[in-house]
Structure 1
């Protein structure tokens, strides 16, 4: 997230803005925004759903320690979608001195493009390291997808290469239950937060409630570029349930000594499921987009 927030914060200062407003779900973007704002001496306000504040208290403290004002959002599902709503309302009300530092590849143009380009450092570094270490590109890239910023930054530098791209959405309690966050896998085309993409909505266009154990994937839409990747067949998208992600969290923790974020654990779980179908010489790169320290309290409650 820091790649995105530093770039946008520098843009905000160049535009002469004195204040930054942002939204956050898992808290990672909020912490990164507060960090960039502190570095560049900008006032910072972060909107966060009340439910996410409860789930991600560690990151709330981090934001406050960095000088940000954290405003709880009590409307709707009290999660990421509602935090974005409030951040946009704040921004358009104070547009003269305020810059909206969006955290994912969603929203109106040019935000999805800005976030993609700033986050593409992930894919560029992956590409460079693969060529240096292995002498070739990987066979497959796997990343979790909520709004989709880490995934689109990961995928974009490989768009023209013969590399399989797989995005993994929040299957929640299972697609058939309706309690999930899989807009690409189970959604329909609509408009949310200023962009056209796949959404979880009813027949009248009303946004449905979502569910995921991972706060960063608990969103009823997805970045418009992911929708295009799906439509043109360049990437494929699957789902992983809460239980499968939890199992993957424990697996990586025990085997590698790395606590992955619950969001990233979805990508690990998907890779684990597809592993038996791979050849021994195939290379799969999984994007670990966040640490799991923030999720420890939620995980303990599930034990």
Structure 2
């Protein structure tokens, strides 16, 4: 369409999600690494909103998560509901009764869309998996609906549950998954959590990594680290669901984008050797340098 696309991404996330960055640039987007604050998702949102505010006459802010000022939560929920609608239709066609639906929750786009057609029903159980990080302490996780660190607040144009200090400033967060490493949650998800319709659980980094390995080995599916949080939560509650009912996990992303994060954990020696070999190859290969000059 000839529209310029500028993507703001925290510098930390740019480094740990290079496959995603490379893909966006190949598609023609300009990726801007944000170096302010914690250099993760929260700060990327801040920079995108600053750009929008400064250039509103010829710029539109596109928000992928189910949060932010109205009408963004409604827009994202409605578009993402295609996921939940398809799950509902396919299960009805096959006579499958759903006992529980499980999705990871950062801002909440995949989960609210996945849950959407079932929210007004009493069943099935709806379970949201938050980032438990490395522990329960401040700065060790990104759990807004579990634990006791979150509070109601207003940030980035919307009211919801946030990890905030006594002055209302965002607390640091931590998660092995870039998409869950955020201090807030979509307001609709927060309300549904408070009402009890959605159950929330915190999944630690090591549990998510174990889920990646489990589903790869047993199902031949490589979960993204975000989605692996949902996989781990499903594994926890599977025994609670009757055998004649299904547990549906929303795999919201593929794990190939996380190779820079998972390889050092799963294959540390091989990954170290690979990186050193690549550095040596790049430094000694003049053909690559010449090809770049010709391309320019």
Q: Does TM, normalized by the shorter one, top 0.5?
A: yes
1:273 aligns with 2:236: yes
Asked if structure 2 preserves the Cα contact closer than 8 Å seen for 1:142 and 1:287, the reply is yes
* Whole-angstrom CA distance in 2 between matches of 1:177 and 1:42: 41
**Structure 2 partner of 1:46:** 7
- 3-state SS of paired residue (1:175): coil
Q: For 1:129, which of 86, 90, 98 is the aligned residue?
A: 90
- Number of equivalent positions: 263
**Structure 2 partner of 1:256:** 219
Q: For 1:290, which of 215, 234, 253 is the aligned residue?
A: 253
Note the C-alpha offset of 1:178. 4.2
Deviations 1:20-62 (A, max 9, x none): xxxxxxxxxxxxxxxxxxxx33111000100000000111111
* Whole-angstrom CA distance in 2 between matches of 1:175 and 1:281: 35
**Structure 1 partner of 2:39:** 78
Asked if structure 1 preserves the Cα contact closer than 8 Å seen for 2:97 and 2:244, the reply is no
Q: For 1:156, which of 116, 119, 122 is the aligned residue?
A: 116
Asked if structure 1 preserves the Cα contact closer than 8 Å seen for 2:69 and 2:157, the reply is yes
- The answer for unaligned runs of 5 or more in structure 2 is 267-296
Asked if structure 2 preserves the Cα contact closer than 8 Å seen for 1:108 and 1:194, the reply is yes
Shift >3 Å, 4+ stretches: none
**Structure 1 partner of 2:106:** 146
Alignment of 1:1-303 (within 5 A): 40-134=1-95, 136-161=96-121, 162-176=123-137, 178-186=139-147, 187-303=150-266
- The answer for unaligned runs of 5 or more in structure 1 is 1-39
Note the C-alpha offset of 1:184. 1.5
TM-score (norm 1): 0.85
Asked if structure 2 preserves the Cα contact closer than 8 Å seen for 1:127 and 1:137, the reply is no
Please identify the structure whose Cα radius of gyration is greater: 2
- 3-state SS of paired residue (1:139): strand
Asked if structure 1 preserves the Cα contact closer than 8 Å seen for 2:97 and 2:245, the reply is no
Note the C-alpha offset of 1:137. 4.2
Deviations 1:192-215 (A, max 9, x none): 111111100112211100000000
RMSD (Å), alpha carbons = 1.1
**Structure 2 partner of 1:7:** none
TM-score (norm 2): 0.87
Note the C-alpha offset of 1:223. 0.3
